[in-house]
């Protein structure tokens, strides 16, 4: 099964040796996104809700490039710097779905890239 690299200027460029997303067969694997503004390539400042919205906008840009939507997401992983942020991030995250939520786990991590509070990766199907 050949893989296809998905790239867009509307989401942050990778900060290491990885791609924004890789399509393999009918699945799209989106690398963990953090609150980097793709226009400036800098981490945004603000609240954890602001961070979560930027992360979700970055994910949306990658999904758009792959010509799919949040409805196509089947699995997410959320990494938090502190589980005390769960409720605020969960509120933002949930607002991007129509109620048909994907499978998910949320874990606290000792440290996240660039000192952010939230990182989210997703797996999506290319077909509904």
Residues 29-52: what's their mean pLDDT? 97
Mean of per-residue pLDDT scores for the chain = 97
CATH class of 3-125: alpha beta
Task: Output the CA torsion 34→79→70→47 (10° steps).
Answer: -60
Asked whether the beta carbons of 82 and 128 are under 8 A apart, the reply is no
Give the pLDDT band of residue 66 (cuts 50, 70, 90): very high
Mean pLDDT of 5-20: 97
Predicted local distance difference test score (pLDDT) of residue 1: 77
What was the pLDDT predicted at 74?
Answer: 98
| pLDDT tens track for 73-99 | 999 999 999 999 999 999 999 999 998
Cross-strand partners of 125: 27
């Amino acid at each position: 099964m050949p893989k296809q690299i998905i790239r867009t200027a509307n989401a942050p460029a990778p900060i290491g040796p990885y791609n924004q997303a890789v399509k393999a067969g009918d699945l799209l694997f989106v690398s963990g996104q953090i609150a980097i503004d793709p226009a400036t390539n800098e981490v945004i400042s603000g609240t954890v809700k602001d961070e979560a919205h930027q992360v979700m906008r970055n994910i949306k840009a990658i999904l758009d490039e792959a010509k799919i939507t949040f409805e196509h997401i089947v699995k997410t992983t959320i990494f938090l710097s502190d589980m005390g942020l769960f409720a605020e991030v969960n509120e933002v995250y949930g607002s991007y779905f129509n109620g048909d939520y994907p499978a998910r786990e949320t874990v606290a991590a000792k440290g996240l890239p660039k000192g952010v509070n939230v990182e989210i990766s997703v797996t999506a199907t290319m077909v509904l």
